[in-house]
Amino acid sequence: MMVKRKNPSQNSCYKPAPTSRVRSVRWVFLKWPALLVGADLSLVCFTLAIQSAVGLVCIRVIGRWLGGGGLPDISFRPMIIALTLTGIGLCAALAHLARPRLAPLALCNPATSWLSREVLLVPAFAAALALAILSSPVASPAVLIFLESAACLLGAAALFAMTGVYRLKTVPAWNTPATGFEFAGSVMLLGGALSAVLTGLETGDHLWRDPDFATAAIGIFLGLMMKLAAISPAMQAERVARNETWYPHKIAAFSAGQAQAIRWMFNLAGLALILGSLAVSTWPWSCLGLIFIVTGEVLGRVMFYKAYRRIGL
């Protein structure tokens, strides 16, 4: 007796993917929020907030130096925003811990532990920002310049330590130069986007005349170039992880290529909007571009954490 198999398409729970290329792209783009399911958003918030703060401070300082600005041109609004972002990141890091009261134990081994170095350097970066803000009414120019430079150096050191935390030999998908490119690219990309929005708020409708906006646009472009450079080593690391681990990554709704395409759609749209704000001399376009870039970076960081696959049990 032959049993007739039921057509899967008759099952109401079965929803085949679109067959045409146009419909497939549309389906992938509309389903991108599925990437956020099961993501560790506390770590996403921590890393992106700290990297945004470091990028904002460094890009604004470099922009003022390259533009020939002196001490009277120092604006502490970026430092206040950077300090706020750092505080948000630290709170998110505490939310990630199962027992936050044990967090000080992470400071015990700075000689050999990248985590201990990160835990030391991120608050040191915040302290330099706070000192610069609080001492600005009374400190001498030399002290303010020293604090400003110290904040940039401590931020760069914190980024380096953060990268070291994830370069684990037991996690092939993270133990790759792509991790450093990704984190440094986020610093430039998010810092540049924030700087572009702040410049628009401060300058008004004459963005093309402001060197800070040009520096912000260059930072965004360099950030995208760093992320482009990360694609090849990341794909190689993914192949290694597939061969050396016994379970798949957690990006179940999409392939890695589809997720990357969605991310780059947001990032390139953000860059186009920010450059468009320069062409039409209106800052709200920069705000919309910032939203697109932040969305793309959140998706990229979620992909990064979901790529975790550890060698062994």
What pTM was computed for the model?
Answer: 0.83
Does pLDDT of 5 surpass 60? no
What is the band of 9 on the pLDDT scale with cuts at 50, 70, 90?
A: very low
Q: Which of 163-177, 272-286, 296-310 has the lowest mean pLDDT?
A: 272-286
> Who has greater pLDDT, 239 or 155?
155
Per-residue confidence (pLDDT) for residue 44, from 0 to 100: 92
Return the structure tokens found at 170.
Answer: 């037991």
Give, in order, the Cα–Cα distances in Å from 118 to each of 87, 230, 296. Answer: 15, 22, 25
Is 273 in contact with 24 (CB distance < 8 Å)?
A: no
Report yes or no on 47 lying in a domain: yes
Q: What is the CATH number of the domain that holds 62?
A: 1.20.1630.10
Question: In terms of Cα–Cα distance, which of 123, 150, 121 is closest to 135?
Answer: 150
Per-residue confidence (pLDDT) for residue 88, from 0 to 100: 95
Per-residue confidence (pLDDT) for residue 122, from 0 to 100: 94
Does pLDDT of 219 surpass 70? yes
State what percent of residues in the chain have pLDDT above 70.
72
- Angle at which helix 211-244 crosses helix 256-280, to 10 degrees, equals 180
Per-residue confidence (pLDDT) for residue 307, from 0 to 100: 82
Kindly give the residue spans of alpha helices, DSSP state H, lying in the chain.
21-30, 41-66, 77-96, 114-135, 141-166, 177-203, 211-244, 256-280, 284-306
Collapsed DSSP state (helix, strand, coil) of residue 226: helix
Per-residue confidence (pLDDT) for residue 18, from 0 to 100: 46
Non-local (6+) Cβ contacts of 123 within 8 A are 90
Q: How many CB atoms lie within 10 A of CB 247?
A: 7
**Domain hosting residue 167, numbered range:** 38-97+110-306
How many domains, the chain? 1
Report yes or no on 165 lying in a domain: yes
Give, in order, the Cα–Cα distances in Å from 93 to each of 55, 61, 96, 169, 309. Answer: 19, 27, 5, 23, 21
The residue count for the chain: 313
What is the band of 46 on the pLDDT scale with cuts at 50, 70, 90?
A: very high
Report yes or no on 312 lying in a domain: no
**To which residue do tokens 């912000």 refer?**
216
What is the band of 33 on the pLDDT scale with cuts at 50, 70, 90?
A: low
Does pLDDT of 157 surpass 50? yes
Report yes or no on 1 lying in a domain: no
Burial (CB < 10 A; 0-12, 13-18, 19+), residue 168, is middle
Per-residue confidence (pLDDT) for residue 98, from 0 to 100: 64
Mean pLDDT (whole number) for 220-241:
88
Report yes or no on 12 lying in a domain: no
Instruction: Render pLDDT for 235-285 as a digit per residue (tens, 0 to 9).
Output: 888 888 778 776 665 554 556 677 778 888 899 998 888 877 766 666 677
Return the structure tokens found at 141.
Answer: 């120019």
Report yes or no on 31 lying in a domain: no
Per-residue confidence (pLDDT) for residue 177, from 0 to 100: 93
Report yes or no on 11 lying in a domain: no
> Who has greater pLDDT, 95 or 204?
95
Give the side-chain half-sphere CA count within 13 A for 251: 23
- Angle at which helix 256-280 crosses helix 177-203, to 10 degrees, equals 30
Does pLDDT of 13 surpass 60? no
Mean pLDDT (whole number) for 114-134:
91
Report yes or no on 159 lying in a domain: yes
